[in-house]
Amino acid sequence: MSATKRPPLPVILLANHFLDGEVVFWSGQGWSRNPQEAQTASTQAEADVLEEAGRLAFARAEVVDAALIDVSLSADGQPVPNHFRERFKISGPSVRTDLGKQAEFAKDQAKG
Amino acid sequence: MYRYDEFDAGFVRERVALFRDQVQRRIDGSLTEDEFKPLRLKNGVYLQLHAYMLRVAIPYGTLSSVQLRQLALIGERYDRGYGHLTTRQNIQFNWPKLRDVPDILDLLADVEMHCIQTSGNCIRNVTADHFAGVAADEWIDPRPVCELIRQWSTAHPEFSYLPRKFKIAVTGASHDRAVVKAHDIGLRIVRHPDTGAHGFEVSVGGGLGRTPMIGKVIRDFLPQEELLAYLEAVMRVYNLEGRRDNKYKARIKILVHETGTEALKARIEHEFAQLDGPSINADPEELARIAAYFAPPHYEELPAVSARLEAAKSANPVFADWIDTNGFAHKVAGYRAITISLKGIGEIPGDITSAQMRQVADLADRYSLSEIRVSHNQNLILPNVKNDDLFALWQGLVEAGLATANVGLITDIIACPGLDYCALATARSIPIAQAIAKRFADPARQREIGPLNLNISGCINACGHHHVGQIGILGLEKRGQESYQITLGGDPTEQAAIGEIVGPGLTAEAVPDAIERLVEVYLEARQVGETFIDTFRRIGIGPFKLAFQHNLEGADHVA
């Protein structure tokens, strides 16, 4: 895939788990359900690695809709998507804060 | 209610087995994602923002209490304990796992339900007036016709790969509550002026979405026995001539628009004349077999006025307001149809928990001959409640948190799932609905404003019917933020109209103030007996535009 179609750096790789549908993040070692474990790519070479991981996982029917998402890094180094659509995607419905990752991983964030 | 025969039951079970096998073949790699995706869509499984979504068909919005309990079970066992009612009278589950979907489909098949044709370029769930069979202003129950169309269109080999999706709605009442003019085909059951025979007024090319159109009447009177052949003629012309080069121009409304109503009508009539009607039209015996399932239930002979009801109303003004707002005139004396609002102030429009589904099913068993309806307005209806039972029913609904008295008022908002759930959305809908409902929460103020439908869509596809909202709100993305465009004067009824844009897009925060200002214009200008739409039609959009602009001045509201 040509690099020009890519979103601006830095990026993370997110997808939906094929069998569960749940949003998952490439952590460098594999897919994680926890947004805080998303690996951030800051160079084109690192983004190439993420893209390839997504391609292979799609081919193995592990995930669908794998995509690189441009992010900014928060003060504590956490990647935050630049577009509001992906911010909802990695947190959950804004009208049901008891559901989705915002509910499940909130404690970790508080600890963190 | 219609009951599956052996063929229906066998067909639905076969489809479940087929899908179970397709999922397995995708897992083992025999099917690629490109091959699998259309197969899952044919079974109502979408991939949304956070998870898969499963859309369950509720044919013409009619449910039994047994079916509603099964939906409650599915919500609890395989989802997050709730479901969402849609503007096609269906229900969606927001969090199912693909691996569980075949088991969910089996549970649905146990109660004669399925997800077939709730997605894809085929004929979708046929919708109807939610008061079908009970409305005082209805003279023919449209559901036997809907069921006939459902059977004819299910897995119809010629119409399984249409240029785009296809939606049909039917009403048999004088007042259109099924938005038939915003459908690909809208059918109004009418009586022939000379012979008195029943037939259909047929409209084509209605639709909302990015190019909203009001349907054009192409037949004033179609004899009812010729329905299927005529539908087949329309579908065949559309299938052959509808555009396949551009997804956004593929609906039949574009074909009608580009061809011209008269030319297309002639083309359809020509096709109709070529068809062998008797081989396509339903056998009268089959029609009678279907119609028998919708025969009116046994109603008791009751006085039109219930002393018990009147006493309860006098003693309890909150109950009286609820009856006046959520009650609907029944064709049989002594009964009422009751709308259960799923629009509690600050709640999510159309969402219902599994516990509430069970409570409604129990109340339907006790007070409404075990039948429930889903309206395109995302509410539930108990169609057959005795006046004598209304107070007890209301108490049960209060207990379930389902006694909001706002049906048809400004807080009875239609809202699509928007960007809180939907992968296609460009902005959120639900929080806007919640903010407006909170702003207009006072019941007395809502009644003072009177009938007003406010519809919100989170993208141009218009699932939230914003074009036909008297106040419509469309959520878009502008310069990286959510922006809301307001329209006025839409009308979903027999006087169907598309709303006009009142001004520039607003930020989410600015929407409630703007709505308030627009409502004030109406309240200041209205004459005795007028509703919002009456006043709008009399004074036009001008005064609303002025007020809207004035509201914007000096504020950082434009998005």
B261: tokens are: 């109503």
Q: Which of B293, B321, B355 is the last residue of a domain?
A: B293
Can you give the pLDDT at residue B555? Answer: 63
In a domain, B131, yes or no: no
Residue B333: give the domain boundaries. 309-400
Look at A64 and B47 and tell me if their CB atoms are within 8 Å.
yes
In a domain, B301, yes or no: no
Give the integer Cα–Cα distance in Å for B481 and B412: 27
Positions in chain B short of pLDDT 50: none
Would you say A50 and A11 are in contact if contact means Cβ atoms under 8 Å apart?
yes
* Total domains in the fold of chain B: 4
Residue A66 sits at the chain B interface (C-beta within 8 Å): no
Interface test with A, best of B24, B49, B456 (most A CBs within 10 A): B49
In a domain, B494, yes or no: yes
In a domain, B149, yes or no: yes
Residue A95 sits at the chain B interface (C-beta within 8 Å): yes
The beta strands (E) that lie in B369-508 are given as: 371-374, 380-386, 414-415, 454-457, 471-478, 481-488, 500-501
Residue A54 sits at the chain B interface (C-beta within 8 Å): no
Nearest 5°: the CA angle B551, B557, B559 is 130
Look at A99 and B421 and tell me if their CB atoms are within 8 Å.
no
Nearest to B98 among A19, A65, A93 (CB): A19
- ipTM of the predicted structure? 0.93
Q: Which of B263, B293, B323 is the last residue of a domain?
A: B293
In a domain, B50, yes or no: yes
Can you give the pLDDT at residue B553? Answer: 80
Residue A30 sits at the chain B interface (C-beta within 8 Å): no
CATH number, position B315: 3.90.480.20
> Which residue of chain A is at minimal alpha-carbon distance from B52?
A21
Look at B26 and A58 and tell me if their CB atoms are within 8 Å.
no
Using CB atoms within 10 A of its CB, is residue B341 exposed (0-12), middle (13-18) or buried (19+)? Answer: buried
pLDDT tens for B54-72 read: 999 999 999 999 999 999 9
Can you give the pLDDT at residue B556? Answer: 61
A98 CB-near residues (< 8 Å, 6+ apart): none
DSSP character at residue B155? T
Look at A19 and B434 and tell me if their CB atoms are within 8 Å.
no
Domain ranges of chain A: 7-111
Positions in chain A short of pLDDT 70: 1-4, 107-112
Looking at the structure, tell me whether residues B237 and B363 fall in a common domain. no
Q: Using alpha carbons, select from B431, B462, B358 the residue that is nearest to residue B81.
A: B358
Q: With beta carbons under 8 A apart, name residues in chain B contacting A89.
A: 49-50
Nearest to A61 among B27, B49, B50 (CB): B27
What is the distance in angstroms between the Cα of B27 and the nearest Cα belonging to chain A? 7
Would you say B351 and B37 are in contact if contact means Cβ atoms under 8 Å apart?
no
Q: Which of B355, B372, B400 is the last residue of a domain?
A: B400
In a domain, B467, yes or no: yes
Q: With beta carbons under 8 A apart, name residues in chain A contacting B96.
A: 21
Looking at the structure, tell me whether residues B100 and B229 fall in a common domain. no
Look at A83 and B480 and tell me if their CB atoms are within 8 Å.
yes
Neighbours of B6 (CB within 10 A): 7
Q: With beta carbons under 8 A apart, name residues in chain B contacting A99.
A: 80, 95
Can you give the pLDDT at residue A27? Answer: 97
Q: With beta carbons under 8 A apart, name residues in chain B contacting A63.
A: none
In a domain, B524, yes or no: yes
In a domain, B454, yes or no: yes
